[in-house]
Amino acid sequence: MPVTDRPDRCEDLEVLYADQYLAVVNKPAGLMVHDSALARGETDFAADRLRGQFGRPVLLAHRLDRATSGCLLLAFDRDTASALGKALMAEGFDKHYLAVCRGWPDPPAGLIDHPLDGGPGKPAKKPARTAYETLARAEAPWPDRAHPSARYALLCCSPLTGRFRQIRRHLKHLRHHLVGDTSHGDGRHNLAFRMRGVHRMLLHAWKLGFPHPVHGRRLEVAAPPDAGFRQALALLNIPTPC
């Protein structure tokens, strides 16, 4: 059965960490985090699932795009949610994403410093910075325009600001489009992966690191990539990062 970007409805989300104050879960690709103007008739949301799963109110500390999988941070009370919201904007809160892009970025590691607007209806541009590091490079045995093979890279992207679709738009700015991104990506490369059974955007919220808002001890949480992401890496002969 092909791997798709639509998760099973009403399935419990994998819990990566939980205590009486907060939790980190592994959101599947294709699941919207909460109801919004972009929902377009959807009735299945991570926030609703989590309220039922934990049997208590949940407050989302941050957001992930529908097509993005991985670490989703939530709080169980307003004080913890407020503290996490402030921590997200401060130094010491680390977010690391796995991303597969077309081409090989040069230099292989660096900082993308490019202002971005706030999305539809928010035209004002604000500073936006994303650090990136190339974890692996690959050449796929299918043609890319005039070339007999296509180049791809697995990146670790660390957003230092929190703008709308920041990683996706910053990779487009570099002309190293995120594979599977139907809004900001390259259709030819998206199609190449779909033809080989990968039907998801290749962006995964891999790791979170932050001081616990109550006792202060640092938490380091990692979400294993799902089957679709691993399938894409296998096509490129790239080992799945631990």
The catalytic site residues sit at: 65
* Cα gap 136→115, rounded to integer Å: 27
* Cα gap 209→219, rounded to integer Å: 6
Q: Is the dihedral of CA 158, 27, 85, 118 positive or negative?
A: positive
CA distances from residue 106 to 15, 96, 133, 141 in whole angstroms, order as listed? 37, 20, 10, 22
Look-up of token digits 């809160």: 93
Rg of the chain over CA atoms, in angstroms? 18
Residues paired with 14 in a beta bridge: 26
* Cα gap 66→48, rounded to integer Å: 15
* Cα gap 44→37, rounded to integer Å: 14
Look-up of token digits 């796929």: 140
* Cα gap 50→18, rounded to integer Å: 12
